[in-house]
C-alpha cells in the first residue's frame, strides 16, 4: 500500500520512491511540500535572506556545452571582458550597499594569466572592503593548485554546477572529450571540499531526456556529497545552441518552473541547513519567481551588480531578466521584493553555510 504525501513528509529519512512520489505530486499535495519546506527553513536557517552581489566578469569561454549561449562555438555571442577597474567599482557598490558578499562568475578559461588576475582581484576585494565582503567564485574546472591559490587569496565559497549527476545525461549536454569530462567535474568538487571551500553545485531542471528518476538521483547526489550550498533552476533554452533542436521533448516552461520549486523544497527538506540560492532563471519565467523560491526553501539571492552595458551579453539562456537595469535599480527593487516574502535581508552579513560551520566543528573540513 502506497504512502500518502503527509506520511512521507513526517519521515526523517526518505527512499528514492518517496522522493519520486513527492516530485510527481498534484497541486494540493505540492503545496503541502512547500509548507513543510518553509517550516524546515525557518527552523534550521532562519528567515534571513543573504545577498551575493553577482559580477559576470566575462563571457569568454573555452567550453562547448550544448545548452549554453556563451559556448565557444556560438559565433553570434558578443564577447566581453570587464576591466579590473570596472569589477572593483561593482565591488565598491556592493560593499557600500551593505551586501554581505559578492560572486565572481565568468565563462570557463584556465591559464596562468587568468589565475594571477583572479588572485590579484581577490586580494584587492579584501583590501577595499576591509575584509568585510565574503567572496564566492564560480570559475569552472581548474587545477588543484589554482583552487588553493584562490582560497589563500581570499575566496571561501565555490560554485561548480554538475548540471546532471547522471553521466549518460551529462554527455547529452556536453561533448564527450577531455574538456568536458564527468569524472573531472566530480574530482574538482572533491578538491574544493578538501581545500576548505564552502562547496556548492547545482543542476538544470526540465532538460530534454531528463526523467524524474534523474532528478531524484540529483538530490541524493548532493546529500551524499555533503555539499554546503546549491544553485539550481529551470532549463531555459537558447536558440543558438545544439540542444535547442530537442525543444519538442520539453515540458512546458510553467511545469519546469513548478518542478524547480519542488526541487528547492525537497533539497531543503533533505539538507536542512545548507544555503540554497533562488536562481535568476526563475525570474525569467515568473516575475516573482525568486521570491516564490524564497518562500519554499531558498535563502540566498544574487542581485546583479554587473555594469548594465554588459548584462545582455552574458546570456546563458533566452529572456534573461534585468539586463536593462543598473545595479542601483536592482538593489531598490530587491529590497521591496524580499519584504513581500516575509523574510528579512541580512545586510552586511556573509551568511555562511551553517552546514559548513557544523562540518568544521565535526572535524570534517
Confidence class for position 148, pLDDT limits 50, 70, 90: very high
Alpha-carbon span 358 to 365, nearest angstrom: 9
Alpha-carbon span 327 to 342, nearest angstrom: 23
Alpha-carbon span 159 to 117, nearest angstrom: 19
In sign, the C-alpha dihedral spanning 111, 176, 74, 189 is: negative
Residues 6+ apart with CB under 8 A from 210: 164, 169, 204
Q: Which of 264, 254, 256, 329 is nearest to 291 (CA)?
A: 264
pLDDT, tens digit (0-9, with 9 covering 90-100), for 222-266: 999 999 999 999 999 999 999 999 999 999 999 999 999 999 999
Q: For residue 334, what pLDDT is reported?
A: 72
For the whole model, what pTM was predicted? 0.94
C-alpha cell belonging to residue 363: 572535524
Burial of 12 (0-12, 13-18, 19+ CB in 10 A): exposed
Q: For residue 327, what pLDDT is reported?
A: 57
Three-state secondary-structure class, residue 80: coil
267 close to 246: Cβ distance less than 8 angstroms: no
Alpha-carbon span 202 to 328, nearest angstrom: 28
Q: Which of 227, 237, 258 is nearest to 353 (CA)?
A: 227
Residue with grid cell 512520489, as numbered in its chain:
21
Q: Element (H or E) spanning 60, and its range?
A: none
C-alpha cell belonging to residue 124: 584587492
Confidence class for position 2, pLDDT limits 50, 70, 90: confident
Alpha-carbon span 281 to 279, nearest angstrom: 5
C-alpha cell belonging to residue 77: 555571442
Q: Element (H or E) spanning 156, and its range?
A: none
Alpha-carbon span 179 to 218, nearest angstrom: 22
pLDDT, tens digit (0-9, with 9 covering 90-100), for 268-318: 999 999 999 999 899 889 989 999 999 999 999 998 898 866 656 666 656
Residues 6+ apart with CB under 8 A from 306: 54, 55, 56, 57, 82, 90, 314, 327
139-170 core/surface letters (b: 16 or more CB in 10 A; e: else): bbbbeeebbebbbebbbbbbbbbbbbbbeebb
Alpha-carbon span 201 to 83, nearest angstrom: 27
Alpha-carbon span 54 to 355, nearest angstrom: 23
17 close to 217: Cβ distance less than 8 angstroms: no
pLDDT average, residue stretch 122-148? 98
The percentage of residues in the chain with a pLDDT greater than 70, rounded to a whole number, is 93
Going through 257-349 in order, the beta strands assigned E by DSSP cover 275-278, 300-301, 344-345
DSSP at 3: P
Find the distance separating the first CA and the last CA of the chain, reported in whole Å.
43
pLDDT, tens digit (0-9, with 9 covering 90-100), for 27-65: 889 999 999 999 999 999 999 999 999 999 999 999 999
What are the structural domains of the chain?
Answer: 19-361 (3.20.20.70)
Q: For residue 306, what pLDDT is reported?
A: 87
Q: For residue 315, what pLDDT is reported?
A: 61
Q: For residue 335, what pLDDT is reported?
A: 76
Question: For 94, how many CA atoms within 13 A lie in the half-sphere containing its CB?
Answer: 34
pLDDT, tens digit (0-9, with 9 covering 90-100), for 102-129: 999 999 999 999 999 999 999 999 999 9
Please name every residue paired with 106 in a beta bridge, in sequence order, or none if there are none: 58
Amino acid at each position: 500500500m502506497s504512502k500518502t504525501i503527509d506520511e512521507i513528509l513526517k519521515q526523517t529519512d526518505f527512499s528514492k520512491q518517496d522522493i519520486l512520489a513527492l516530485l510527481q505530486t498534484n497541486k494540493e499535495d505540492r503545496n503541502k511540500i512547500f509548507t513543510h519546506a518553509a517550516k524546515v527553513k525557518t527552523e534550521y536557517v532562519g528567515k534571513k535572506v543573504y545577498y551575493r552581489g553577482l559580477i559576470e566578469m566575462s563571457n569568454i569561454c573555452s567550453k562547448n556545452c550544448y545548452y549554453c549561449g556563451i559556448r565557444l562555438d556560438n559565433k553570434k555571442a558578443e564577447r566581453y571582458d570587464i576591466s579590473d577597474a570596472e569589477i572593483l567599482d561593482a565591488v565598491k557598490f556592493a560593499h557600500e550597499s551593505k551586501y554581505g558578499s559578492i560572486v565572481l562568475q565568468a565563462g570557463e578559461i584556465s591559464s596562468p594569466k587568468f589565475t594571477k588576475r583572479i588572485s590579484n582581484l581577490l586580494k584587492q576585494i579584501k583590501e577595499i572592503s576591509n575584509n568585510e565582503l565574503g567572496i564566492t567564485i564560480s570559475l569552472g574546472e581548474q587545477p588543484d593548485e589554482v583552487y588553493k591559490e584562490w582560497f589563500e587569496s581570499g575566496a571561501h565559497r565555490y560554485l561548480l554546477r554538475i548540471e546532471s549527476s547522471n553521466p549518460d545525461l551529462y554527455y547529452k549536454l556536453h561533448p564527450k572529450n577531455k574538456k568536458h569530462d564527468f569524472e573531472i567535474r566530480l574530482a574538482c568538487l572533491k578538491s574544493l571540499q578538501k581545500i576548505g571551500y564552502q562547496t556548492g553545485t547545482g543542476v538544470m531542471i526540465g532538460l530534454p531526456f531528463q526523467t524524474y528518476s534523474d532528478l531524484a538521483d540529483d538530490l541524493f547526489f548532493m546529500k551524499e556529497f555533503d555539499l554546503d550550498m546549491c544553485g539550481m533552476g529551470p532549463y531555459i533554452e537558447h536558440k543558438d545552441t545544439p540542444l535547442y533542436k530537442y525543444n519538442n521533448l520539453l515540458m512546458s516552461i510553467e511545469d519546469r518552473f513548478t518542478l524547480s520549486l519542488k526541487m528547492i523544497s525537497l533539497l531543503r527538506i533533505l539538507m536542512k541547513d545548507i544555503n540554497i540560492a533562488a536562481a535568476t532563471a526563475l525570474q525569467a519565467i515568473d516575475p516573482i519567481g525568486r521570491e516564490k523560491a524564497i518562500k519554499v526553501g531558498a535563502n540566498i539571492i544574487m542581485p546583479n551588480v554587473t555594469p548594465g552595458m554588459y548584462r545582455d551579453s552574458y546570456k546563458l539562456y533566452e529572456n534573461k531578466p534585468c539586463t536593462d537595469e543598473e545595479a542601483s535599480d536592482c538593489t531598490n527593487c530587491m529590497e521591496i521584493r524580499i519584504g513581500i516574502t516575509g523574510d528579512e535581508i541580512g545586510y552586511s552579513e556573509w551568511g555562511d553555510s551553517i552546514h559548513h560551520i557544523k562540518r568544521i566543528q565535526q572535524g570534517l573540513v
